[in-house]
Amino acid sequence: MGAAAVVAEAVRVAGLEKSYRGRPAVRGIDLSVHEGEIYGLIGPDGAGKSTLLKAIAGVLRFDAGEIDVLGTRIDSDRAAERIKPRIGFLPQGLGLSLYPELSIEENIDFFARLRLVGKPELAERKERLLAMTRLAAFRDRPMKHLSGGMKQKLGLICTLIHEPELVILDEPTTGVDPVSRRDFWAILSRLLRERHATAIVSTAYMDEASRFHRLSLVYDGKEVAAGDPERIREKRPGSLVVIDTARQADAVARLRPRFAQVDPQGATVRLFAEGLLPAEAGAAVAAALEGLPATVADAGEADLEDVFVSLLREGAPAPPAAPAPPHTPPARETRFAIEAIDLTRDFGGFRAVDHVSFSVPPGEIFGLLGANGAGKTTVIKMLTGILPPTGGRGQVAGHDMRHAAGAIKRRIGYVSQAFSLYQDLSVVENLRLFAAIYGLSRAEASDREAWALDLGGLRGHERDLAGSLPMGLRQRLALGCALVHAPEVLFLDEPTSGVDPIGRRRFWELLFRLSREDRVAILVTTHYMSEAEQCDRLALLFAGRLVADATPKALKREVAETEGLPVEMHVDRPLDALEALAARGFPEAALFGPHVRVLSKDPDGDMERLPRLLAEAGVTVHLAERRSLSMEDVFVHRVRALEETGGGRGEGA
């Protein structure tokens, strides 16, 4: 690392190791967090993020290595106690550190008293934080009645109330809706800037990388890469190419031998061309696809996730392609595999799903995108016949869900949240159980069992208990169980939560093949915004209502047309820049790590114009560059649009 001027270190970790009952969780991690920065830890579940954060916060003893926090060596419980007053720690789990029966204000007061915050300071800080988080109007509401986003903001207030010098936040944004998530980042970066505090934040969302000054990618207890996002990208230089083609499968087959990371995505194929500049990559892809009806739609900067996957692969071969099923189900006469018309569901006085309508033809991957509590699971439960709707109707696999639940059940597959398999049964036992449940004959069952083992790459694990499998395998076993009876429609409720990026990609590849080769209609819910782009069609669900239903491309195009494209500027004084931009017609300007981002309808013009504007306010812009729109941008735009039209309730979907 060359750019080392004299920077004070807030946290230094060297060679940290920690095992739980002989199972290594962290295996030699080094970390250096500078004062005043937001440092990110990105990795899937089980990568060791929480262990690392707990060790830094002084609430977990570790086996080997050194940790220095705010200049104190954490080598004993007493040392850990000494620094605790100077740090704030928000453990993982939405609202788990808060008291459900206490109101917002009582929670804040409690944490303040715990931290011995004086009365006048408390009053001043509380008002400021409540105003900033827009929670002031709800100060008397019990925490248990708050939405996920509000809980998370309250958690942040309670962590910051004693004005710690170091804030440690463990997955604060997981499962929070994109609007609240955006608020959360805005508040955090502003507060830390104002107070010159330091933060370490972990996340499972790769697309949050741009929020950090610097970050570590962790996997399996080890660091895969560290540094600022640009530097990590430099570790695996390459370009992202998106190809439009009507013959996806052929295109993938042609590209796979030449490029290691080729993934079908929606109606396109997306590939990471390692070591090539965008123009070169585009040309190379075009050459490879010579003769196929395909066009290179886009060639540009790679996503961090592509880089992460490439680093994780480390030369390992691409996973073997899944086998085709032994037989294809009969052709279907129904036009739509899933049709929901005005589905509504009330729980007591609470409307969880509000007049939701959409339809999915056979062979389509349909994504239902939304935060925890948005109503995704309720929609799936109604369509699968677990939960009767309060109102509305629908048909699944050609049968009316109100009258033919039994017929529907035989034709659908379902993977519930957290892939609920029998963890105490082995892989084969799980498959056989579901084969028998679906009434397969012995011969059919053994055919499908073999097919599912091949599909999931589960050979060699037949006798392992499902609970002992790593997440990725467990998820593919769940998929195999759901597909054992060759269903026409597949429902997946957050199937990839917590799975590492390679496992996620492999899983999506399986879904893609099922939809294209077997014409299975797939409805999948997710709160990973980046994953949503893999769907053919997307519905955004917010507070029980459908706020959009279109292809990912169309959704993005609409935002680009109405709001513009993101432009990111590297500036010397970010807070002043924000103020200056807000005063000059960019109220939505936001901090992304050390940089400032605005949406611009004329990116090329603004990249010239904005640096001049900011110069008038005394802010120097070192660099201005375009960024691409994310699904999160789309989601936030849609929800804001809905809020502006007075909530839009009752105008129907």
Partner 1 sequence: MRPPEPPHLLGLSRRLRQIRVMTGKELRQLVRDRALLIFIVYSFTLHMFVAAGSEASDLRDARFLVRDLDRTPASRELVSRFLPPHYRPAGEVAHPGEALDRLDRGTAVMLLEIPEGFSRTIDEGVEPATVQLLVDTSSANTGYLASAYSARIAARYGAERAQENLARAGAVREQLPGIESRDRVWFNATLDEKWFSTISELLTMITVSCILLPAAALVREKERGTIEQLLVSPLTPFQVMFPKVLAMIVVTLFGSAVAYFGILLPVYGVPARGSLLLFFGVTALYAFANAGLGLLAATFTRRTAQVGMLMLLTVMPIIMLSGIRAPLESMPGWLQAAIWFSPLRHFLEVGYGILLRGAGVAELSDSIAVIAALGAVLFTAGLLRFRRQLG
CA distances to 21, 160, 181, 210, 226 from 186, in Å:
40, 15, 9, 13, 24
Rg (C-alpha) for the chain, rounded Å, is 25
Of the residues 438, 451, 507, 542, which one makes contact with partner 1 according to CB under 8 A = 438
Between 19 and 390, name the residue whose CB sits nearer to partner 1: 390
Specify the amino acid at residue 463: R
CB of residue 348 vs partner 1: minimum separation in angstroms?
A: 15
Residue 33's beta-bridge partner residues? 11
Question: Long-range pairs for 124-128 at CB < 8 Å and ≥24 separation?
Answer: 125/161, 125/163, 126/157, 126/161
Determine the Cα–Cα distance for residues 278 and 241; give it in Å rounded to an integer: 7
Between 179 and 440, name the residue whose CB sits nearer to partner 1: 440
Of the residues 272, 434, 528, 586, which one makes contact with partner 1 according to CB under 8 A = 434
By rule CB under 8 A, what count of residues binds partner 1? Answer: 34
For residues 396 to 425, the per-residue mask of contacts with partner 1, x marking binding by CB under 8 A and - elsewhere, is --------xxxx-xx-x-x-xxx-xxxxxx
Alpha-helical segments (H) within 214-333: 229-235, 248-255, 278-288, 304-313
Of the residues 429, 444, 454, 579, which one makes contact with partner 1 according to CB under 8 A = 429
597 alpha-carbon distance from chain centroid: 20
Does residue 89 touch partner 1 according to CB under 8 A?
Answer: no
CA distances to 385, 511, 518 from 362, in Å:
19, 13, 9
Give me 477's structure tokens. 């076993």
CB of residue 403 vs partner 1: minimum separation in angstroms?
A: 9
Of the residues 249, 283, 311, 433, which one makes contact with partner 1 according to CB under 8 A = 433
Strands 238-245 and 261-265: unpaired
Between 71 and 388, name the residue whose CB sits nearer to partner 1: 388
Of the residues 437, 554, 582, 615, which one makes contact with partner 1 according to CB under 8 A = 437
Between 110 and 422, name the residue whose CB sits nearer to partner 1: 422
Does residue 388 touch partner 1 according to CB under 8 A?
Answer: yes
CB-based contact 531:635 (threshold 8 Å): no
Between 255 and 338, name the residue whose CB sits nearer to partner 1: 338
Of the residues 91, 282, 375, 385, which one makes contact with partner 1 according to CB under 8 A = 385
Between 249 and 433, name the residue whose CB sits nearer to partner 1: 433
CB-based contact 383:459 (threshold 8 Å): no
CB of residue 233 vs partner 1: minimum separation in angstroms?
A: 38
Of the residues 153, 332, 432, 597, which one makes contact with partner 1 according to CB under 8 A = 432
Does residue 368 touch partner 1 according to CB under 8 A?
Answer: no
Element (H, E) at 198: strand 198-203
Which residues, numbered 212-241, are part of the site for partner 1 (CB under 8 A)? none
Of the residues 79, 292, 341, 386, which one makes contact with partner 1 according to CB under 8 A = 386
CB of residue 490 vs partner 1: minimum separation in angstroms?
A: 11
Between 195 and 409, name the residue whose CB sits nearer to partner 1: 409
The stretch near partner 1 (CB under 8 A) out of 51-59, 222-230, 299-307, 431-439 is: 431-439
Does residue 387 touch partner 1 according to CB under 8 A?
Answer: yes
CB of residue 220 vs partner 1: minimum separation in angstroms?
A: 25
Between 286 and 407, name the residue whose CB sits nearer to partner 1: 407
Give me 1's structure tokens. 């690392």
Determine the Cα–Cα distance for residues 22 and 653; give it in Å rounded to an integer: 54
Give me 321's structure tokens. 């392609």
Does residue 384 touch partner 1 according to CB under 8 A?
Answer: yes
CB of residue 477 vs partner 1: minimum separation in angstroms?
A: 12
Dihedral pair phi/psi, residue 156, rounded to 5°: -65, -45
For residues 463 to 502, the per-residue mask of contacts with partner 1, x marking binding by CB under 8 A and - elsewhere, is --x---------------x---------x-----------
CB of residue 431 vs partner 1: minimum separation in angstroms?
A: 12
Determine the Cα–Cα distance for residues 274 and 256; give it in Å rounded to an integer: 13
One DSSP character per residue, 375-422 reads SHHHHHHHHTTSS--SEEEEEETTEETTT-HHHHHHHEEEE-TT----
Please identify which residue in the block is written with the tokens 């295996």.
27
Between 406 and 646, name the residue whose CB sits nearer to partner 1: 406
CB-based contact 40:207 (threshold 8 Å): no
- Which stretches of the chain bind partner 1, using CB under 8 A? 381, 384-388, 404-407, 409-410, 412, 414, 416-418, 420-425, 429, 432-434, 436-439, 465, 481, 491
